[in-house]
Amino acid sequence: MLLDVRGRGRWTFLSPTAAYIWAHLSADGDVKEASAAVADHYRVDPAMVEIDTRALAEDLLTRELLVLDGGGSR
């Protein structure tokens, strides 16, 4: 669960998998690395995980719950 504390007071509920992805994205900001960690953790196809990870990252970026670093690596 994420709380937008910028005066909006909105909660965003994440599934356990989405929360795991968010934790990796917010820590290192690399979609491929986050996807690899999730694929390894859940023992699933890395290509499918990367598609889902990119979709989640785009959604979180749109909601400003994930911010690009200066290099735009996400």
The pLDDT assigned to 54 comes to: 94
Tokens coding 48: 């499918």
The pLDDT assigned to 51 comes to: 95
pLDDT of residue 18 exceeding 50: yes
What sign for the dihedral angle of Cα 25, 69, 73, 7? positive
The pLDDT assigned to 73 comes to: 44
SS3 24: helix
pLDDT digits (tens, 9 = 90+) for 29-67: 789 999 999 999 999 999 999 999 999 999 888 887 777
Mean pLDDT of the region 8-30: 83
d(CA 68, CA 74): 6
How many angstroms separate the first and last alpha carbons of the chain?
A: 21
